[in-house]
């Protein structure tokens, strides 16, 4: 009986040993597969477009002064009419033109500064704003704006409140095509990396679409915009 028990124990021990060996092999093989799956490459794909602006916002600001309020407001009104006529004469429609309320300052009523040598008691600032999709009409009018000066309308310089803005509002139409292009460019970079490292490109592990940016192409052509997006993609690599 002891001999039979000994044989059983030997068989059991051998079975356990073989099981441990098999388990070790399986775990080692699984670890190798996990290690393989951990091999990845992160690449970026760029897509850019140059597009014309489709909205123009042009504030035409001027200042005037007088010692009489009625005279001042009459002058403001006359100059606003001259500006509106100038704009419509360049193909800008009336509904694209807005005349803002003038800002009038009574310099004698101010509690600071020396008021003894004031030439004009009242000063005023008036702004006529153009908001239109006819960008070319605005650009043409801007080139001819000297004609307003010849009629006595001295426009203020390009201060913060008087800056002309050109905007592009068609981003939603470009997004699908640009995202596709950025993704393709990212894959091309990843495939080149995989080939150079003796690997094969696997499936995507993660992808992140960057934010779209719209900027002026350069400082001299604000009516031409550069649209840009960068996509970041992580791929698995396989031997």
CA distance 225 to 213: 10
Does domain 35-51+170-238 bear CATH number 3.30.110.170?
yes
Give the mean pLDDT of 29-40: 54
What SS3 state is found at 28? helix
- Residue 34 pLDDT: 42
The string of pLDDT tens digits covering residues 206-233 is: 999 889 999 999 999 999 999 999 999 9
Q: What is the DSSP string of 70-92?
A: HHHHHHHHHHHHHHHHHHHTTT-
End-to-end CA distance of the chain: 57
- Residue 110 pLDDT: 75
The mean pLDDT of the chain is 87
Running DSSP on this structure, what letter comes out for residue 133? S
- Residue 18 pLDDT: 60
Q: Do domains 35-51+170-238 and 55-167 have the same CATH topology?
A: no
CB neighbour class for 54 (10 Å; exposed up to 12, middle 13-18, buried from 19) = middle
Q: What is the dihedral of CA 138, 144, 145, 148, to 10 degrees?
A: -130
The string of pLDDT tens digits covering residues 71-95 is: 999 999 999 999 999 999 999 999 9
Running DSSP on this structure, what letter comes out for residue 105? E
CA angle 172, 206, 36 (to 5 degrees): 155
CA distance 73 to 80: 10
Phi and psi at residue 105, to the nearest 5°: -120, 130
Alpha-helical (H) ranges within 163-227 are: 171-196
- Residue 157 pLDDT: 72
Alpha-helical (H) ranges within the chain are: 2-37, 69-88, 135-143, 146-150, 171-196
Close Cβ partners of 201 (under 8 Å, ≥ 6 residues apart): 187, 190, 191, 194, 235, 236, 237, 238
Return the domain boundaries, the chain.
35-51+170-238, 55-167
CA distance 177 to 189: 19
The string of pLDDT tens digits covering residues 80-133 is: 999 999 999 999 999 999 999 999 999 888 767 666 778 899 999 999 999 999
Reported as a pLDDT band with limits 50, 70 and 90, residue 156 is confident
Instruction: State in words which class domain 55-167 has.
Output: alpha beta
């Amino acid at each position: 009986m002891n001999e039979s028990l000994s044989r059983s124990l030997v068989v059991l021990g051998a079975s356990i040993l073989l099981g441990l060996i098999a388990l070790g092999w399986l775990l080692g093989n699984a670890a190798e597969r996990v290690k393989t799956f951990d091999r990845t490459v992160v690449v970026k794909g760029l897509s850019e477009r140059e597009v014309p602006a489709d909205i123009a916002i042009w504030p035409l600001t001027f200042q005037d002064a007088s010692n009489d309020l009625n005279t001042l407001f009459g002058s403001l009104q006359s100059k606003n009419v001259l500006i509106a006529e100038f704009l419509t004469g360049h193909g800008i429609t009336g509904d694209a033109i807005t005349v803002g309320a003038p800002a009038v300052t009574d310099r004698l009523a101010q509690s600071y500064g020396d008021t003894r040598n004031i030439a004009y008691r009242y000063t005023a600032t008036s702004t006529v704003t153009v908001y239109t999709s006819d960008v070319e009409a605005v650009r043409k009018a801007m080139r001819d704006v000297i004609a307003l000066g010849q009629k006595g309308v001295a426009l203020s310089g390009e201060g913060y409140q008087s800056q002309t803005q050109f905007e592009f509002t068609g981003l939603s139409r470009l997004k699908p095509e640009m995202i596709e292009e950025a993704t393709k460019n990212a894959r091309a970079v990843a495939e080149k990396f995989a080939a150079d490292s003796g690997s094969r490109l696997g499936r995507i592990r993660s992808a992140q679409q960057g934010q779209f940016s719209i900027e002026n192409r350069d400082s001299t052509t604000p009516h031409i915009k550069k649209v840009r997006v960068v996509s970041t993609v992580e791929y698995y690599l396989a031997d």
